[in-house]
Amino acid sequence: MSIFSSLANRFGYIRYNDGSHFYRLLKGNTNYLGGKDNLNTSLSNPIVSACMQIRGNMLAGVQFYQEGANNEKILDGPELLLLNNPNPTQSKQDFLIQYEYYRLAYGWVYQKPYGSVGMQIDAIFNLNPKYIEFPNDMQSGLIWSKEDIDKFYEQKFIYEEIDQPKKSIELNDVMMFFDTANGLTDSKNSSVTAPSRLASVIKSVSNTGIALDAENIILQTNGRELFSQDTKGGNLGIQQAMDGADRNDIENKLINKHYVGSGGNRSIVTNKPVDWTNISMDMKDLGFKDSLSTNSNIITQMYQVPNEIYKAFMQGATFENQKEAMIGMYQNVIQPIADDLASTWSDYFELSNPVKASFEHLPVMQFNEQRKADKILKIATAYEKLVRAGVESSAIEELFDSQGVPLN
């Protein structure tokens, strides 16, 4: 092994004899297959990118609010102005979609508020984890005293985007968000970072990329055909002997009349029989569809996107149980993310009236509310009929309890 190869291997770079290469995941390294970082890999894979876009679009529909004295929703309070207009270059929707892409790609993301006058906050930006560099002497996240807390959060990291000046930022000055959970790895940055779920589906992502590349190559080479004949010789006996009017009449009227191509006629006229063989590959025999379906399912499940929603997004169609799947995803996946944003902002800005997050205003959630109302109506109607039939209230309550519908 050469000195270069030995050094490259230390950074996770491996090059094979056939010229192919890849980066393997190392501690604290976001590079892998093909040398791409996690975000670029996510954007270039149609399945991962679709999952991220679906989640980002759903999160972007959140409504941030505060509660008034009578529990009414306040949507235009001064604290909400910044959250609904986070910075000069992004709308709330763009900001939240970018946040979800960063968080899912790297496993963590920081948000940095900026102010121009005193404590006045003018903007909030998502920091791309790709450009964050932690100090070599990063302290442990194990904190035993108030003094340890202060020292830990006074540590600074470097943020340097391409062609931009370096910024030294204290941990105190950012809001931290994690996709999985911080502290799961044994790296020195474990307490302030989290592993990416992309690493767990790296083989499936690679498989889909290889399958799509192979399918693309085969499609480009389709239409291949072979002409052959038993006759031996330089020209194999294939002689275009019909010159003149007869040959032109056959080619123009019977064979090539409607053919539009480049480089000459599609067919030829010979004076002897010629064998023809189609040597194109049958896509069904190669199993690409099954491979893509299997690996797609693994990826979508890892990103908690139900099949009904994923297929509707990719195919633009409506599937059975799509509304139920979307409601479930809002309640079980997206709502906790929005709640985390709202509570973190409330704590960081020390708001006496905390910010809350809701999706109740969305049409699909209105469908859920209507379903609840229909259920209540059916219960009330059934109860009324039983009362009219002379059934005692205690017996009715016992009956409903046995069916999992408590009336109290």
pLDDT tens per residue across span 359-375:
998 988 876 666 666 67
Chain Cα centroid distance, residue 146: 39
Dihedral angle computed from the Cα positions of residues 265, 269, 274 and 275, in that order, rounded to the nearest 10 degrees: 40
Residue 12 identity? G
What whole-number distance in Å separates Cα of residue 126 and Cα of residue 37? 17
Q: Mind listing the pLDDT tens digit of every residue in the chain (408 residues)?
A: 454 455 445 444 444 444 444 444 444 343 445 557 899 999 999 999 999 999 999 999 999 999 988 889 999 888 898 899 999 999 999 999 999 999 999 999 999 998 754 447 889 999 999 999 999 888 877 777 888 888 889 999 999 998 889 999 999 999 999 999 998 888 888 899 999 999 899 888 888 887 887 777 777 766 666 666 665 555 555 555 555 676 676 666 555 544 444 445 556 666 667 777 766 666 666 667 788 888 999 999 999 999 989 888 887 767 668 888 899 999 999 999 999 999 999 999 999 999 999 999 898 887 666 666 667 767 777 777 877 887 777 777 777 777 666 766
C-alpha of 129 from chain center: 17
Q: CA angle 356-358-361, nearest 5°?
A: 145
The HSE-up count of residue 71 (CA atoms within 13 Å, CB side) is 0
Query: Rounded to whole angstroms, what are the CA distances from 127 to 21, 112, 216, 240, 339?
Result: 30, 7, 36, 70, 20
pLDDT of 222 reads 67
168 forms beta bridges with 158
Would you state the pLDDT for residue 62?
96
- pLDDT 10s digits, 278-299: 666 666 666 677 888 889 999 9
**Which residues have CB under 8 Å from 153's CB, separation 6+?**
170, 171, 172
CA distance 52 to 361: 23
Strands (E), 172-224: 175-178
**pLDDT (0 to 100) of residue 244:** 66
* Lookup result for tokens 């083989």: 203
Q: What is the pLDDT of residue 113?
A: 93
Q: Classify strands 31-32 and 36-37 as parallel, antiparallel or unpaired.
A: antiparallel
Q: State the Cα–Cα distance between residues 131 and 265, nearest whole angstrom.
A: 57
Measuring CA to CA, which residue among 102, 186, 95, 172 is closest to residue 140?
Answer: 186
For the record, the structure tokens of 56 come out as: 């980002």
Block residue for tokens 């980002």: 56
Q: What are phi and psi of 130, to 5 degrees?
A: -60, -30
> How much is the pTM?
0.71
The per-residue pLDDT for range 143-201, each reduced to its tens digit, is 778 888 888 899 999 999 988 899 999 999 999 999 999 988 888 888 999 999 998 99
Domain segments of the chain as ranges? 225-279, 363-408
Predicted local confidence at residue 207, as pLDDT:
85
pLDDT of residue 155: 93
